[in-house]
Amino acid sequence: MTTAAINPKIGTTMKSLVYHGPGQKAWEDKPYPSIKESGDAIVRITTSTICGTDLHIMKGDVPTVTDGRILGHEGIGVVEQVGSGVTEFHVGDKVIISCVTACTKCDFCRKGMYSHCRTGGWILGNTIDGTQAEYVRIPHADGSLYHFPDGGDEEALVMLSDILPTGFECGVLNGQVKPGDTVAIVGAGPVGLAVLLTAQFYSPAAIYVIDLDDNRLAVAKKFGATTVINSSDGKAVERVLELTGGAGVDVAIEAVGIGATFDICQEIVAAGGRLANVGVHGKPVMLHLEKLWSHNIALTTRLVDTVTLPMLLKIVLSGKLQPSKLATHRFALNDIQKAYEIFGNAAKESALKVILTNK
């Protein structure tokens, strides 16, 4: 059922970053992956990166990740082998790997909700081995890989694996950002900045970015924020209401994942506005329905589907978006432990995304 017989690497080993419980990980040998289903492809990783979610995993916050799992769900690479059912990719094709695996056939995939694919979704570096390795097995390859364009920049396009679609789909599309809108983004980490970059596709009149860290706010300003607000004085809500003549913002986007930032959002969203949640929350929040019941708002949640990956790719290629500016640090893939250290101290290190290269 596969072309495995002709792949001399079968049975050899590769290097990979392996999770061994909270706080424990190692750059170690694992077997070279093999095709398991007819839709699988094996991809040699050329560029990868680290996600905030990987840090959550390392803290033990994601119970589906168990000892022995290879981490990582972002990457660029080259197809080494394909199963018999793969029709869209061939050995040697350079590809962008989506963080979300999509069969394209199930009811959820049919409506563009790849995140909830019956046999996919976010599984890479979670319930199956991931991309922080020399090689990775990609199930449902036809639905989960995208052709890397000739002359493309790996550093820029690896941002299409997760962070740009996340900011765009969960923040901008769900928030229905429209020309002339006033938008507030709460949180200026990499995901908040991805929201900021992609919100500008729709020409809002104003974008306020709120964070506790002045360095990040300076980056936000450079990336197109019209106003930045340091919320460490507890007066962000007051400031936004002042800026909007008391009305609040058309779109409030939560890009942190805690109660305090969610609270800011629900206090600043205008009547008729949208509150788009992007952050990953670990706890319930208090929703002030006693006020909001009559405010005609929509609050949305979303796990990224990466359905907009092809559209984002077009915009990057058109030159209207330069995602490489999210890359602040570069390492060889086998220095990944050092990269985690830097990324784990992102604020202090002024780090956004760290690029891992395997050449």
Site residues (CB under 8 A) for a copy of itself, limited to 233-252: none
For residue 75, the minimal CB distance to a copy of itself (Å) is 20
| Contact status: 60 vs a copy of itself (CB under 8 A) | no
Smallest CA-to-CA distance from 266 within 236, 287, 238 is with 287
List, in sequence order, every residue forming a beta bridge with 20; answer none if it has no partner: none
Between residues 66 and 296, which has the closer beta carbon with respect to a copy of itself? 296
Count of residues near a copy of itself by CB under 8 A: 71
Could you say which residues in the range 297-316 bind a copy of itself, by CB under 8 A?
297-303, 305, 307, 310-312, 314-315
Could you say which residues in the range 320-359 bind a copy of itself, by CB under 8 A?
320
**Which residue bears the tokens 């974008």?**
207
In the list 23, 67, 284, 359, the residue contacting a copy of itself (rule: CB under 8 A) is 284
| Contact status: 201 vs a copy of itself (CB under 8 A) | yes
Q: Judge whether 353 and 44 are in contact, CB under 8 Å.
A: no
* C-alpha–C-alpha distance, residues 158 and 57, integer Å: 20
For residue 259, the minimal CB distance to a copy of itself (Å) is 9
| Contact status: 292 vs a copy of itself (CB under 8 A) | yes
* C-alpha–C-alpha distance, residues 193 and 216, integer Å: 9
For residue 264, the minimal CB distance to a copy of itself (Å) is 14
**Binding string, 4-33, against a copy of itself, x = CB under 8 A?**
------------------------------
Amino acid sitting at position 135? Y
| Contact status: 113 vs a copy of itself (CB under 8 A) | yes
* Cβ-based neighbour number of residue 98 at 10 Å: 29
| Contact status: 151 vs a copy of itself (CB under 8 A) | no
Helix (H, G, I), strand (E, B) or coil at 91: coil
| Contact status: 288 vs a copy of itself (CB under 8 A) | yes
Stretch that binds a copy of itself, among 154-162, 171-179, 228-236, 339-347 (CB under 8 A): 171-179
Stretch that binds a copy of itself, among 42-50, 172-180, 186-194, 214-222 (CB under 8 A): 172-180
* C-alpha–C-alpha distance, residues 133 and 29, integer Å: 9
| Contact status: 110 vs a copy of itself (CB under 8 A) | yes
Distance of CA 47 to the CA centre of its chain: 15
Burial 147-178 (b: 16+ CB within 10 A, else e): ebeeebbbbbbbbbbbbbbbbbbbbbbbbebe
| Contact status: 277 vs a copy of itself (CB under 8 A) | yes
Please compute Rg for the chain using Cα positions. 21
| Contact status: 221 vs a copy of itself (CB under 8 A) | no
* C-alpha–C-alpha distance, residues 195 and 58, integer Å: 25
